[in-house]
Chain A
Amino acid sequence: MNTFWIILTGSLVAASCGFLGCFLILRRMAMLGDAISHAILPGIVLAFLFSGSRDILPMLVGAAVLGLVTVFIVQMLQQSGVKSDAAIGVTFTALFSVGVVLVSLYTQQVDLDLDCVLYGEIAYVPWDTWQLDGVDMGPRAMWGVGGVFLLSLLIIGLFFKQFKLCSFDPALAAAIGIPVVLFHYLLMTLVSLTTVAAFESVGAILVVAMLVVPSATAYLLTDRLHAMLFISMGVGVLSAVCGYFLASWLDSSIAGAMTTVAGLLFFLALLFSPRHGLVGKLIARRKVRLWEA
């Protein structure tokens, strides 16, 4: 049963990250996702300290606020003339440091250790269950991730056209009256929420892997946004499942193994994708050469 809960939670994390990741990489904001996932750490710690519990709601609020603050600071620095990559680098390292210092200072009150900040502890997820009227409803982390996943499905489903247009042609979107900035911040809020919900399971850095790697894989395999979303979620779930077994075989971190499998799947797609793969391109080039000769 524990195996089932771990795999289910991992799959939900991977699916929700893969879903949002598509929009991130289409808008060329992969590193901003990275920055957010690091920068929400102080939000989580502060929520811990204020609420004194591991409840998911204060943590979601704290993280969403910090996520938006990060995006805002990065934008402000860019406007005051700092290059965008440097702005991202300065912001997230500073906020992440604040988080690590807070964890170290309040190590008694905060039931978080630094390793789990980085690579999560999905193996312990089944033991932290949610009791509703004395009925065991399954792991709390799973409900958190599932809830956030549903929320992002709902919001993106409702405004799918707008998100699509903003990802491919923000100038046109602005011209026909779509509030591009609002959708930008909405997407960033969803990314922060997903990151914090996934944080407990896979940690700060591997969230980025789940955001970027499956969607990049999907990006190589298709030219349609719909298909890309589904492939990305599929790749995410597949890496979660395989990652679990790899981790139990190697006796290592499950989240790390999930990332490794996702990387492997990306590598396969890189080589063998029918339209964008390296092997396919090589064969096509050879054909052209033969035809010319």
Chain B
Amino acid sequence: MNMWQALQDPNTQWVLMGCVLLGISSGILGCFAFLRGRSLMGDALAHAALPGVCLVYLLTGSKSIGLFLIGAGVAGLLATYCITAISRHTRIKEDTSLALTLSVFFGIGIVLLTHIQHSASGNQSGLDKFLFGQAASLVFADVVTIMVVAAVLIVVVALLFKEFTLLSFDPGFGRGLGFPMGFLDAVLMLMLLMAVVIGLQAVGVVLVAAMLITPAVTARYWTDELSKMVVLSGFFGAVSGVLGTLISTQQENLPTGPTIVLSATAFFLFSLLFSPRRGVLARMVRFLRMRRKILREDVMQALYEQLEEQLKSRPTSVYRGFGAAMLARKCGKRTAAVRHALRDLQKRGYVAERTRTDDETLWTFTSEGLPVAHRLVLNQRLWDLYHMNQNQFHHLEIDVNQEELAPQLSDEALSLMLAQLRAYDLTPQLADYQGFSHLLQQSNQGGLSL
């Protein structure tokens, strides 16, 4: 059956409708779970639902999703209670109590499930679909139940959006404002549980947690605003629900759970790589750019300091400029990298060739480059001074992550620091480049001059 034919079938349309709603509601709730650090709670709730579902079936013999919802809900509440009680009343940590509750409930569920299967009352065939999900087994009544639950979830989130935001970011502040944070947390938990339960039949016990986690994490890559994140996450959830269901219709015997999860993961991987601000590629580009900038600055500083030294120690000797190898030694970088940076600086008009010997080019500043280098060196030396005499300056409010120090200082502090630099004989000497113009290259002129 190809995809288009599948879409024409009214039955498939209903199933897809169910999956879209499912994706939206679990995507939305997943955001709050993610921000609360409760992502794996969904996993525990889903696994815990299995014994509930099996018990309901054992007791009533019916397979209606409404009844399963109740059974799964009760089991989920019990599991939530166990997780919090174990980690609160004993020395067992939360992650252990989570894994413990999850696996024990699931074990009990497996015992019940296999017991039902072995006692073979004939009508049990649908039950093991709960493990990996089979969206195609959704019937009209199930879809209606899903729609009602999803609508309730979305409306409640819309109504309590402000409160849930507070709960996710700063529950202590919320309590201070007089909101019943414990109650809201319980409501959120209950809603998570409902989202998990309606997801069971389509995605399955084992993987339904991914519907809560993956879309939310994906959305986080694209925005810093909760309202946008919730919308995006719902969107990713819905699209992966549809894609997964369609893909699984293409192959017989392929459960929907894994295909839905894999579609969501594909979105996640795409965002991980290509998100404009947090993506791996964007970070890498930023990192490389930063590294190049720092290299350029180091090279300029090295050139400046060499020049300074030469003027100080041999003011009368012929100035021939400095080669890449020497600058590399000075600033501790590889020669090839320094050569590359010098070409780069030349393009920006900050340095120029002064002389060219057989094996290397010797460089000096242009008249544009020198003030830039002066500023860099002054900034560097001020920072050195600040770190050296930090106890003198600790009353100043300095953000050490800022690049430049001087703009952060008051005039008074700046003049104090400059006086100290003079005392250490560290004042950059080449500020007034008019005096050294014979050492510079005019950038527009470019060629060799003596």
Q: Which residues of A line the B interface, CB within 8 A?
A: 25, 28-31, 33-34, 38, 77, 80-83, 85-86, 88-90, 93-94, 96-98, 100-101, 104-105, 107, 114-115, 118-119, 205-206, 208-209, 211-213, 216, 219-220, 246-247, 250-253, 255-260, 262-263, 266, 270, 276, 278, 281
A101 lies within 8 A of B254 (CB): yes
Residue in chain A with minimal CB distance to B261: A97
Partner of A96, one of B92, B111, B115, B258: B258
B102 within 8 A of A: yes
A86-B217, A209-B106, A266-B104 known; A251 vs B95 contact (CB < 8 Å)? no
A86 lies within 8 A of B39 (CB): yes
A246 to B115, CA, bound (A): 11
A104 lies within 8 A of B119 (CB): no
A142 to B212, CA, bound (A): 38
A93-B261, A263-B107 known; A212 vs B206 contact (CB < 8 Å)? no
B99 lies within 8 A of A31 (CB): yes
Q: Chain A residues with Cβ under 8 A from B268's Cβ?
A: 90, 94
B106 lies within 8 A of A85 (CB): no
A82-B217, A94-B210 known; A25 vs B118 contact (CB < 8 Å)? no
Partner of A119, one of B92, B96, B110: B110
Q: Chain B residues with Cβ under 8 A from A83's Cβ?
A: 34, 37, 39
A209 to B254, CA, bound (A): 27
B262 within 8 A of A: yes
Partner of B89, one of A255, A256, A259, A278: A278
A219 to B125, CA, bound (A): 41
Q: Chain B residues with Cβ under 8 A from A81's Cβ?
A: 278
A29 to B40, CA, bound (A): 13
A31 lies within 8 A of B40 (CB): yes
29 pairs, CB–CB < 8 Å, chain A vs chain B:
A30-B95, A31-B98, A77-B272, A80-B280, A85-B37, A85-B39, A86-B34, A86-B39, A86-B217, A89-B39, A89-B40, A89-B42, A90-B210, A94-B265, A101-B258, A104-B253, A104-B255, A104-B258, A105-B254, A206-B107, A209-B100, A212-B100, A220-B92, A250-B111, A256-B108, A257-B111, A258-B107, A260-B108, A266-B100
A257 to B97, CA, bound (A): 20
Partner of B214, one of A25, A31, A93, A216: A93
B262 lies within 8 A of A97 (CB): yes
B408 within 8 A of A: no
B92 lies within 8 A of A90 (CB): no
6 new A-B contacts, CB < 8 A, other than A86-B34, A114-B131, are: A80-B278, A81-B278, A82-B220, A97-B262, A101-B258, A205-B206
A114 to B253, CA, bound (A): 11
Q: Chain B residues with Cβ under 8 A from A80's Cβ?
A: 272, 278, 280, 283
Q: Chain A residues with Cβ under 8 A from B109's Cβ?
A: 256
* Interfacial residues of chain B within 101-144, with CB under 8 A of chain A in the complex: 102-104, 106-115, 118-119, 128, 131-132
A199 to B257, CA, bound (A): 21
Q: Chain B residues with Cβ under 8 A from A98's Cβ?
A: 258, 262
B107 lies within 8 A of A270 (CB): no
Q: How many residues of B contact A (CB 8 A)?
A: 63
Q: Which residues of B line the A interface, CB within 8 A?
A: 34, 37-40, 42-43, 47, 86, 89-93, 95-100, 102-104, 106-115, 118-119, 128, 131-132, 206-207, 209-210, 212-214, 216-217, 220, 251, 253-255, 257-259, 261-262, 265, 268, 272, 278, 280, 283
Residue in chain A with minimal CB distance to B98: A31
Q: Chain A residues with Cβ under 8 A from B114's Cβ?
A: 119, 251-253, 256
A82-B217, A83-B37 known; A250 vs B95 contact (CB < 8 Å)? no
5 tightest CB-CB pairs across the interface, nearest first? A259-B107, A256-B110, A263-B104, A209-B103, A93-B210
Q: Chain B residues with Cβ under 8 A from A213's Cβ?
A: 100, 103-104
Q: Chain A residues with Cβ under 8 A from B93's Cβ?
A: 25, 28, 30
Max chain A Cβ within 10 angstroms of own Cβ: one of B90, B107, B220, B257: B107
Q: Chain A residues with Cβ under 8 A from B96's Cβ?
A: 25, 28, 30, 212, 216, 219
B103 lies within 8 A of A212 (CB): yes
Minimal beta-carbon separation of B221 from chain A (angstroms): 9
Residue in chain B with minimal CB distance to A213: B100
Minimal beta-carbon separation of A97 from chain B (angstroms): 4
Residue in chain A with minimal CB distance to B211: A93
Partner of A115, one of B42, B90, B131, B207: B131
Q: Chain A residues with Cβ under 8 A from B92's Cβ?
A: 25, 216, 219-220
A270 lies within 8 A of B90 (CB): yes
Q: Chain B residues with Cβ under 8 A from A30's Cβ?
A: 93, 95-96, 98-100
B107 lies within 8 A of A34 (CB): no
Partner of A250, one of B115, B131, B258: B115
A259-B110, A260-B104, A260-B111 known; A89 vs B209 contact (CB < 8 Å)? yes
A114-B132, A115-B131 known; A28 vs B95 contact (CB < 8 Å)? yes
Q: Chain B residues with Cβ under 8 A from A258's Cβ?
A: 107
A259 lies within 8 A of B103 (CB): yes
A212 to B207, CA, bound (A): 20
A83 to B171, CA, bound (A): 18
A273 to B257, CA, bound (A): 41
Minimal beta-carbon separation of A162 from chain B (angstroms): 22
A208 lies within 8 A of B102 (CB): yes
Partner of A118, one of B100, B110, B111, B210: B110
